[in-house]
Amino acid sequence: MAQRRNSGPSDGSNAVVSGPSGGSNADNSGPSDGSNAVVSGPSGGSNADNSGPSDGSNAVVSGPSGGSNADNSGPSDGSNAVVSGPSDGSNAGNSGPSDGSNAVVSGPSDGSSTGNSGPSEGSNAGNSGPSDGSNAVVSGPSGGSNADNSGPSEGSNAGNSGPSDGSNAVVSGPSGGSNADNSGPSDGSNAENSGQISVPSSSSSSGSLPSEVSSSSMHSAPSVSSSVSSQSSTSSPGTVSSLNSIISSTSEGSSIISMSSTAPQSSSSPAVYTTTTLPPYGQRKNTRRRTTKLLEDNNALSLLVGGLVFVGLLITHFINIFQALLTRKKQNMIYQKFDEIDFLLQNQLLVNINYKSLQQKLFIKYFIIKTLLITIHISSIVSVIINQLFIQYYLHLILPVFIIRIRCIQNMFYVDLINEKLNLMNQKLEDINSKHRDKMAFILFADKMQKFDRKDTKNSLYEQLLVLKQIYGKLWDVSNLINDCFGWSLLVIVTQYFIEFTSNGYWLFLALENVLDRSIATQSLCSIFPIIIILTSMAYSCYQSAESAQHTGVLIHKIERDISNDLQNALIREFSLQIIHEPIEISANGFFTINFTLLGSMSAATVTYLVILIQFQLSEIKKNTNSTST
């Protein structure tokens, strides 16, 4: 006989607006078992104004069931709630009760009343006549219970939904005779905006929702994943199996309630619902999805470009390693040849070689190159780590990129040594040519050439030219050894750099056009600049050696002929022919020569292929746009 405000009692308890149960009276409700109310008509010895009693109970808006009343809802087994229907004597706002509870808009099942639905088994809805000799202002009683504008369902209703297994909850519903504002508690307790229902029933109504909700609220989607299940002993048309999914919201913090199976639910099998929470839109990593889109949407062109770069770097790496291992003896021969050349220059031609100056010169050059390469490489790694893009790609290619650059620097070093030896030769030839212009200079030169004069020969110039010719031949041998040791490596390196330069230019264009993320532009530039530095340095070193060799031929032709010395004249002609037929050039195994001409050809080819790739990509985008619009 206890009462609570705005909550429905359990088993004989009444709320402020509900009617009494078991002989008790409440304001605006009809009595049960011999009691009278102001507006309700009597039943079994009791009278109430404008309402007909059912088993001795009356209510202004709703008729009691088993002696209990609820505002706008039909009670079941003596429990009432303001907005929600109880479950087993409990009510929940906007949720349907289970086994004896009523709500505002739900459909009936065997003795319960719902909004705008007709009565079942002797029950009356709003504007209908009484059943079993009872009258109500708006609705007639059904088995002693009435609800505003709702038909009875054996005392159970659900807001906007029909009960399943006697229990209903759009958002939440109470269980066990408890009431809560907009939520149903469990076992007589009240909670705000949350509730659980788990009460079996012998009947189910159409359009019902499951009776177990782990976490819910009326207008907001849950932030955690929840599950809902329902069990029913009997099935009716349009039961739980007809519900596939209910989408609460798809914006920030949205959740989706969906069934785990679309198969019809039997009387014994449970229907399981899951609630999946989507992350806020601002926190979704759309940048990465947009960045990798071209590689994930079956775009054949993008897959081809990315695959060529990756596979090309690996192939280049292995070819460089294999050639370096197979040509170790030839690399030792390169150092031996340089030692022989230094010996001839110092002992036969009395040329002073300043090794300290040479070391400083080469150290400054390669220090600048290595510093630039390392700085750019670190910037690329930092960009990858910050943007979290293609981390695995760059991790797998750190070693190949390092080996390729080391091989390029090693090749440049050998070519620079050839260039230094050629410069020493050219200085000597300039000294020889100067003796005919200045006699004093010739005297000093002859003083230095005392070794040749001691041989008691007339042609000291002839001996010098002969030694110079021998040195040039050794330098040509060194260039051949370099081509043998680096030929295939240079071929694959230049080819790989061409592919990489073109592909990075392509990705740079897409990044600037906002097809890819702008961070891709930074990584593309970090890949392009090292290629430019290495190829330019290699081309410059090879170009300088070839120019020094050609300058040697020019200096040979400047030597004055001695009509009386045919042997010397023949040596000069032979030396000139040697320079023509034995050019000092560094080539990629004979496929092409490393010089500035190669850079020009690569630039032209890169622009051509970039235009082709961009046209293909634009056509792909246009085709995808048309297919999406249709």
Whole-number average pLDDT of the chain: 64
Note whether 455 and 463 are within 8 A (CB). yes
User: In degrees rounded to 5, what are phi and psi of residue 587?
Assistant: -125, 160
- The secondary structure of 137-198 as a DSSP string is SSB--BTTB-BTTB--STT---TTSB-BTTB--SS---BSS-EETTS--BSS---SS-----
Greater confidence (490 vs 150) lies with: 490
Mean pLDDT of 108-115: 41
Greater confidence (190 vs 531) lies with: 531
Judged by phi (left if over 0) then psi (alpha if -120 to 50, else beta), residue 588 lies in beta
C-alpha–C-alpha distance, residues 420 and 550, integer Å: 14
User: In degrees rounded to 5, what are phi and psi of residue 175?
Assistant: -140, 135
| Strands, E assignment, 311-443 | none
Does position 498 have pLDDT exceeding 90, yes or no? Answer: yes
Mean pLDDT of 283-309: 58
pLDDT, residue 388, reads: 76
Q: Which of 160, 185, 212 is the last residue of a domain?
A: 212
pLDDT, residue 623, reads: 73
Note whether 298 and 624 are within 8 A (CB). no
Note whether 213 and 272 are within 8 A (CB). no
The highest-confidence range among 138-152, 285-299, 520-534, by mean pLDDT, is 520-534
Lowest model confidence (mean pLDDT) among 67-71, 472-476, 574-578, 604-608 = 67-71
Provide CB contacts within 8 A for 514, sequence distance 6+.
none
Q: Which of 197, 212, 227 is the last residue of a domain?
A: 212
Mean pLDDT of 394-419: 90
* Other Cβ atoms closer than 10 A to 319: 18
User: What is the Cα 582 distance to its own chain's centre?
Assistant: 56
DSSP 8-class letter at 54: B
- In terms of domains, do 41 and 187 share one? yes
Does position 71 have pLDDT exceeding 50, yes or no? Answer: no
Does position 419 have pLDDT exceeding 90, yes or no? Answer: yes
C-alpha–C-alpha distance, residues 487 and 42, integer Å: 113
Does position 627 have pLDDT exceeding 60, yes or no? Answer: yes
pLDDT, residue 615, reads: 84
- In terms of domains, do 450 and 596 share one? yes
Counting runs of H as helices and runs of E as strands, what totals does the chain give?
12, 8
Mean pLDDT of 127-156: 41
Greater confidence (557 vs 286) lies with: 557
* Other Cβ atoms closer than 10 A to 121: 15
Mean pLDDT of 579-591: 91
At 90 the three-state DSSP class reads coil
- In terms of domains, do 205 and 330 share one? no
| Per-residue pLDDT tens over the stretch 78-104 | 444 334 444 444 443 444 444 444 433
Greater confidence (419 vs 234) lies with: 419
Q: How far is CA 136 from CA 148, 237, 390, in A?
A: 10, 31, 74
Mean pLDDT of 502-520: 82
pLDDT, residue 436, reads: 57
Greater confidence (310 vs 224) lies with: 310
Quick check: is 236 in a domain? Answer: no
Quick check: is 370 in a domain? Answer: no
Helices 391-434 and 300-326: crossing angle, nearest 10°? 50
Mean pLDDT of 245-251: 38
Does position 107 have pLDDT exceeding 60, yes or no? Answer: no
CA-nearest of 88, 55, 300 to 202 is 88
| Strands, E assignment, 260-307 | 271-277
The highest-confidence range among 75-89, 203-217, 581-595, 613-627, by mean pLDDT, is 581-595
Provide CB contacts within 8 A for 422, sequence distance 6+.
475, 545, 548, 549, 551, 552, 584
pLDDT, residue 387, reads: 77
Name the token pair of 543. 């170009």
- In terms of domains, do 167 and 44 share one? yes
Mean pLDDT of 557-575: 85
Quick check: is 205 in a domain? Answer: yes
Q: Which of 212, 229, 264 is the last residue of a domain?
A: 212
Pairing of β 245-247 and β 84-85:
unpaired
Q: Does the pTM exceed 0.75?
A: no
Mean pLDDT of 567-593: 90
Q: Starting at the earlier edge strand, list the strands of the sheet with 91-93.
A: 84-85, 91-93, 179-180
Give percent of the chain with pLDDT exceeding 90: 27
Quick check: is 237 in a domain? Answer: no
Does position 531 have pLDDT exceeding 80, yes or no? Answer: yes
Quick check: is 325 in a domain? Answer: yes
| Per-residue pLDDT tens over the stretch 434-479 | 865 554 444 545 555 554 444 444 447 888 899 999 999 999 999 9
C-alpha–C-alpha distance, residues 462 and 206, integer Å: 117
* Other Cβ atoms closer than 10 A to 530: 23
Note whether 211 and 164 are within 8 A (CB). yes
pLDDT, residue 360, reads: 92
- In terms of domains, do 206 and 303 share one? no
User: What is the Cα 488 distance to its own chain's centre?
Assistant: 38
- Range of the structural domain that residue 423 is part of: 294-354+415-621
Give percent of the chain with pLDDT exceeding 70: 48
SS (H, E, C) 109-149: CCCCCCECCCCCCCCCCECCCCCCCCCCCCECCECCECECC
Total tally of structural domains belonging to the chain? 2
Quick check: is 282 in a domain? Answer: no
Judged by phi (left if over 0) then psi (alpha if -120 to 50, else beta), residue 93 lies in beta
Quick check: is 392 in a domain? Answer: no
For the chain, the maximum distance between any two Cα atoms, rounded to a whole number of angstroms, is 160
- In terms of domains, do 202 and 298 share one? no
Note whether 492 and 319 are within 8 A (CB). yes
Pairing of β 227-230 and β 271-277:
antiparallel
Greater confidence (280 vs 332) lies with: 332
Greater confidence (428 vs 163) lies with: 428
- In terms of domains, do 188 and 321 share one? no
Quick check: is 257 in a domain? Answer: no
Lowest model confidence (mean pLDDT) among 228-242, 262-276, 606-620 = 228-242
Note whether 106 and 96 are within 8 A (CB). yes
- In terms of domains, do 319 and 192 share one? no
Provide CB contacts within 8 A for 341, sequence distance 6+.
421, 471, 474, 475, 478
Mean pLDDT of 297-304: 63
pLDDT, residue 159, reads: 41
CA-nearest of 511, 531, 522 to 603 is 531
